[in-house]
Amino acid sequence: MGLERYLDLLSQPCRAVYIFAKKNGIPFELRTVELLKGQQHSEAFAQVNPLRKMPALKDGDFTLAESVAILLYLCRKYKAPDHWYPQDLHARTRVDEYLAWQHMMLRRSCSRALWQKVMFPVFWGKWVPPETLGAMLAELDSYLQLLEDKFLQDQNFLTRPHVLVADLVAITELMHPVSAGCHVFECRPKLAAWRERVVATMGKDLFQEAHNTIAKVKDLPPADADTKERLRPWKQVLL
Q: What is the DSSP string of 73-117?
A: HHHHHTT--TTTS-SSHHHHHHHHHHHHHHTTTHHHHHHHHHIII
Say if residue 61 is in the same domain as residue 27.
yes
Q: Say if CB 63 and CB 48 are below 8 A apart.
A: yes
pLDDT tens for the chain, 239 residues: list them.
589 999 999 999 999 999 999 999 999 999 999 988 889 989 999 999 999 999 999 999 999 999 999 999 999 999 999 999 999 999 999 999 999 999 889 999 999 999 899 888 877 777 888 999 999 999 999 999 999 999 999 999 998 889 999 999 999 999 999 999 999 999 999 999 999 999 999 999 999 999 999 998 888 777 677 776 766 666 555 55
What's the angle, vertex CA 71, arms to CA 164 and CA 104, rounded to 5? 80
Residue 129 falls within a domain, yes or no?
yes
Tell me which residue range forms the domain holding 37.
3-77
Give the pLDDT score at 104: 87
Task: Name the region of 125 (left: φ>0; alpha: ψ -120 to 50; beta: rest).
Answer: left
Say if residue 136 is in the same domain as residue 194.
yes
Say if residue 45 is in the same domain as residue 99.
no
Specify the DSSP class assigned to residue 150. Answer: I
User: Coil, strand, or helix at residue 232?
Assistant: helix
Residues with Cβ within 8 Å of residue 31, at least 6 apart in sequence: 4, 5, 6, 7
- Measured in residues, the chain has a length of 239
Residue 106 falls within a domain, yes or no?
yes
> Could you give the CA distance from residue 224 to residue 236 in angstroms, rounded to a whole number?
18
As for how many domains the chain has, the answer is 2
| CATH number of the domain bearing residue 19 | 3.40.30.10
For residue 59, list its beta bridge partners: 3, 62
Say if residue 220 is in the same domain as residue 106.
yes
Say if residue 95 is in the same domain as residue 174.
yes
Residue 84 falls within a domain, yes or no?
no
Say if residue 46 is in the same domain as residue 160.
no
Say if residue 93 is in the same domain as residue 55.
no
Q: Say if CB 79 and CB 24 are below 8 A apart.
A: no
Domain endpoint, select from 56, 77, 98: 77
Residue 82 falls within a domain, yes or no?
no
Say if residue 175 is in the same domain as residue 116.
yes
> Could you give the CA distance from residue 58 to residue 48 in angstroms, rounded to a whole number?
7
Residues with Cβ within 8 Å of residue 2, at least 6 apart in sequence: 27, 28, 29
Say if residue 118 is in the same domain as residue 228.
yes
Say if residue 33 is in the same domain as residue 130.
no
Say if residue 96 is in the same domain as residue 12.
no
Say if residue 8 is in the same domain as residue 50.
yes
Domain endpoint, select from 77, 106, 131: 77
| CATH number of the domain bearing residue 169 | 1.20.1050.10
Domain endpoint, select from 18, 46, 77: 77
> Could you give the CA distance from residue 192 to residue 181 in angstroms, rounded to a whole number?
15
